A and B are shown apart, each in its own frame.
Chain A
Amino acid sequence: MSDPTDDHHQHLPANPEDRKAAAALSSLNDDLGSRDPTADQEALGKAMSRLEIAAGQGGHTGGNATASAGQTKTEPQVQVKVAKVKAGDVNLLVRELDLSQVKATELLKANEGDVKKAIQAFIAVA
């Protein structure tokens, strides 16, 4: 098991020898000159903004990571008819079909809250 707090320090080859060796290797295969790290950074910045616009995720700017904390709440339920689901019915399905609360509720919703229909749908061979 990797230690949870140590591995973000290890992105680059730590050993200068390794880096030198890598550089030597690459100059063998690649004679297009050395890279300019600052230009890279600029390009990356542009790339980031492009990505954000493309993905429509503008809300993330400024390192506002709380968006990830609330990620489950906004997803709209896709075209499920608002079916009345009784707690007693859910419990019945949990008991008889060994389902979790969540799954039992889903099953009931998919079958318009009708217990009999839900059970039949569940036991029918797919």
Chain B
Amino acid sequence: MPQQLSSKDASLFRQVVRHYETKQHKKGIKAADQILRKNPNHGDTLAMKALIISNQGQQEDAFVLAKEALKNDMKSHVCWHVYGLLYRADKNYEEAIKAYRFALRIEPDSQPIQRDLALLQMQMRDFKGYINSRSAMLQARPAFRQNWTALAIAHHLAGDLEEAEKVLTTYEETLKTPPPVADMEHSEAVLYKNTILSEAGKVDKALEHLEKVGHRATDVLAVMEMKADYLLRLDRKEEAEAAYTDLLERNPENSIYYDALIRAKGISEDDHKALKAVYDSWANKYPRGDAARRIPLDFLEGEDFKQAVDAYLQRMLKKGVPSLFANIKTLYANSAKRDTVQELVEGYTSGKVQNGEANGDQNEFLSSTYYFLAQHYNYYLSRNLSKAMESVEKALELDPKAVEYQMTKARIWKHYGNVQKAAEEMEKARTLDAKDRHINSKAAKYQLRNSENNKALDNMSKFTRNETVGGALGDLHEMQCVWYLTEDGESYLRQRKLGLALKRLHAVYHIFDVWQEDQFDFHGFSLRKGMIRAYVDMIRWEDRLREHPFYTRAALAGIKAYIQLHEDPDLVHGPMPAGTSREDDTGEDSERRKAIKKAKKEQQRLEKVEAEKREARKTATAVKGLDGEVKKEDADPFGTKLVQTPDPLNEATKILTPILEHSPQNIEGQLLGFEVYLRQNKLALAQKCLSAAHTLNASNPTVHVQTLRLRKALDNPREPLTPEVSESVNAELEKLLPKSQNLDEWNKNFLSVHKDSFSHIQAALASRQLINPDSKAQNENDLATALGSNDASIESALAGRELLNEWRSEQATKQAYAEKAKGKWPESSVFDLE
């Protein structure tokens, strides 16, 4: 039986609750202990104490205490509620929901429990449960508008637009007088209802509603945009035209308005003259604008294009607009336009400027022109690196202090395949303007590409809060600097320092988790503030969070790291030479043993340096004094724990699943998924990835090799397969590569179709090696020959080198290959060393 408290202790208990609410944790614990001294088994007090110590970060102790509390008082809603809150803090939402439900069964009228349950249901997207909770909350407090709105949102997100609209209307009808214009909550709720009408496809009703209430809404722009959109969708062209004209007068740079205006005017896409006339009129009206001049370049052709682009380029070059090339390069998809631009700009350098008014600064015009040409010849659709270098040198001669010119020079070196030079030049650019954060970040990025991780961090530290726990790196984590963490992780991956690579990449996944978690605050907050439309947008964005390319990029790198770790477990100690394996290892004093020894030593050295740094930081912060919050230093700064995972492939699948689920169109994700599943001998899943990749791009070279590998794995499995699996996979694989097919012939056929592509030749050679391991020497030969072909690029040449590693080719063979590549790209650095 639960203990009854004396009246004195009961008031003490109320104090505990109050201390918790005001976050005076120490006082709270003290008061709780005071009660517990007399009533050691009082469940509610134990639970409150558990909650407080959980807030202080002692999660495990809190759970122990909460369980004890429950044991003492199974029928206390406080105990169950606390139990739920602890699970919630532990992010075990399913258990938390269960605990809340228990609490609610005991105390059905408790508002806080009901609310906590509702918030969790929203977080879990349990819409059915959320509707129920919200209905109950509305029952309890119908006077609060937010309870009505919340129920409407619940129905809306669950897909019941009718019901959502009805709830909102029902509340509106209770308002005897229209709320004041300054009532933001009302204004937003009304517009929210309007978007629901529009989402339900009732455009005419939405328009009618908007005309009735829109003039009182605070968000004027949204009302204008919605109205214009509805008019256009209802085909009321004249009014739509007027509406979009109004919008363009507010903002003549929004290309969406132009597109809509043209549709409202009913101008055909092919009628270039009429289109140009529309844009010209706006360009005349707003002579300083850009959109009305730039957009026509997209559709104009031939002589018209030449005239228009000539005027555009000259105007921008005279002004010295640095972003000009970025604005023009999308036109290069059309090669005729690309050539026209090139011809024109080359002409400017030799003084072919129309109506050449000499009043402008001729020097600036010329240097901008050379700068444009440098970018032009550096761009992949119009690349000519020696011309690019020539142009950028000329630009720099005219203006040696221009950061962006120097930056372009570094980029050109990057495309030469020389990461060292690129990093040096970018660092030079940085020193031209040490206070510019953009160039600072660029310099750091190029240093990471050049494996200079410490230098990069040092650069970054010029803009970070270095007194944060963990120093500059700690601040980059706290500020969620995803690009840096990803680049740093990829840099360590290239250096085969897998611990650090995984450490950084996991930091990126963690940031995505935080973003997912962040929405929790808004389930309550947005309602309180009444910003409903933004809230619904946010919820929908969160549902697709891991579609973001940043996630995919970091995850792909992480999967690669785990695959490497699976292939060579010795990487746990540090970088191992590529293209060797444990099996080759025989002698006591082999290269590999030496490498392991060296790696271990290096690891110890790093740990010592880090410990010293920490010591230094500690004394530094001690002087500054404590600012209350105590944050712990990272217990595993080198990712040692991550890299010591007993099952790397299993870890890989954890980060792989979101890619396959949210970005199934990403072929690299499918290809890597295959690699993971094949190694796990989960052939059905491997087949699924392969089929998906095949559908995305049937002629992808890797798909060719993977098809063969799956065929081999299916015909000679490493471990016996379940008959259902092998039959199902076989049925699917028959479509790509029938069992009866002669593999040699199949591969030869592939080679003859793609004989001009270096990547495909590599795929064919890799396949031949798999079909017939004795063909190694011939394959190595053919690979070297193909390196000479015109199609070979630095990237594909690097992939070829990987292939040699995979084949465990002799050092001399690799050397010869690297030298040939170096001969082909003399400026590059990526084939040096090793």
A→B interface (CB under 8 Å): 1-8, 10-11, 22, 25-27, 29-30, 32-33, 35-36, 39-41, 43-48, 50-51, 54-55, 57, 60-61, 63-69, 71-72, 75, 92, 96-98, 115-116, 119-120, 122-125
- A56 CB, min distance to chain B CBs, angstroms: 11
Interface of A is mostly: helix
Given A5-B112, A55-B163, A98-B685, are A30 and B178 neighbors across the interface (CB < 8 Å)?
yes
A96:B722 contact, CB within 8 angstroms: yes
10 contacts between A and B (CB under 8 A): A10-B528, A22-B182, A43-B173, A51-B167, A63-B109, A68-B101, A96-B685, A119-B725, A120-B732, A123-B691
Could you list 18 further interchain pairs (A-B, Cβ under 8 angstroms) beyond the known A44-B174, A48-B139, A123-B684? Answer: A4-B85, A5-B112, A8-B112, A22-B180, A26-B179, A26-B180, A40-B175, A43-B174, A44-B143, A60-B135, A60-B139, A65-B114, A68-B104, A68-B114, A68-B117, A71-B132, A116-B727, A120-B732
- A64 CB, min distance to chain B CBs, angstroms: 7
B23 close to A (CB within 8 Å): yes
Contact size class for B?
35 or more
- Which B residues lie within 8 Å of A55 (CB)? 135, 163, 166
A35:B176 contact, CB within 8 angstroms: yes
Bound together, the chains give a CA A6 to CA B21 distance in angstroms of 7
- Which B residues lie within 8 Å of A96 (CB)? 682, 684-685, 722, 725
B129:A68 contact, CB within 8 angstroms: yes
B170 close to A (CB within 8 Å): yes
Stretch among B369-377, B517-525, B572-580 lining the A interface: B517-525
- Which B residues lie within 8 Å of A50 (CB)? 170
- A126 CB, min distance to chain B CBs, angstroms: 8
A35:B143 contact, CB within 8 angstroms: no
- Which B residues lie within 8 Å of A44 (CB)? 142-143, 174
A30:B181 contact, CB within 8 angstroms: yes
- A33 CB, min distance to chain B CBs, angstroms: 7
Which of B116, B136, B138, B173 has most chain A Cβ within 10 Å? B136
Instruction: Return the CB mask of B107-145 against A: 1 if under 8 Å, else 0.
Output: 011011011110000000000110011011011101110
A4:B182 contact, CB within 8 angstroms: no
CB nearest neighbor in B for A26: B180
Instruction: Return the CB mask of B530-566 against A: 1 if under 8 Å, else 0.
Output: 0000000000000000000000000000000000000
B290 close to A (CB within 8 Å): no
Given A41-B143, A98-B685, A123-B729, are A66 and B111 neighbors across the interface (CB < 8 Å)?
no
Interface of B is mostly: helix
CB nearest neighbor in B for A69: B101
- Which A residues lie within 8 Å of B139 (CB)? 48, 60-61, 63
A65:B108 contact, CB within 8 angstroms: yes
- A9 CB, min distance to chain B CBs, angstroms: 10
A120:B728 contact, CB within 8 angstroms: yes
Cβ contact of A32, chosen from B133, B170, B178, B724, cutoff 8 A: B178
B174:A2 contact, CB within 8 angstroms: no
A5:B21 contact, CB within 8 angstroms: yes
A2:B724 contact, CB within 8 angstroms: no
- Which A residues lie within 8 Å of B725 (CB)? 96, 119
B136:A65 contact, CB within 8 angstroms: yes
Cβ contact of A122, chosen from B112, B144, B166, B684, cutoff 8 A: B684
A29:B142 contact, CB within 8 angstroms: no
- Which A residues lie within 8 Å of B744 (CB)? none
CB nearest neighbor in A for B687: A123
- Which B residues lie within 8 Å of A122 (CB)? 684, 688
Bound together, the chains give a CA A124 to CA B240 distance in angstroms of 46
- Which A residues lie within 8 Å of B163 (CB)? 55
Bound together, the chains give a CA A64 to CA B135 distance in angstroms of 11
Cβ contact of A47, chosen from B109, B174, B653, B727, cutoff 8 A: B174
- Which B residues lie within 8 Å of A39 (CB)? 176
B327 close to A (CB within 8 Å): no
B731 close to A (CB within 8 Å): yes
Bound together, the chains give a CA A64 to CA B114 distance in angstroms of 12
Bound together, the chains give a CA A66 to CA B138 distance in angstroms of 15
- Which A residues lie within 8 Å of B179 (CB)? 26, 30
- Which A residues lie within 8 Å of B176 (CB)? 35-36, 39-40, 43
Which of B128, B182, B687 has most chain A Cβ within 10 Å? B182
A48:B142 contact, CB within 8 angstroms: yes
List the 10 shortest-distance A-B pairs measured between CB atoms, nearest first: A26-B180, A68-B132, A43-B174, A119-B728, A29-B181, A123-B688, A25-B182, A65-B108, A65-B136, A115-B724
Given A2-B525, A68-B117, A75-B128, are A26 and B142 neighbors across the interface (CB < 8 Å)?
no
Bound together, the chains give a CA A36 to CA B175 distance in angstroms of 10
- Which A residues lie within 8 Å of B451 (CB)? none
Bound together, the chains give a CA A53 to CA B722 distance in angstroms of 55
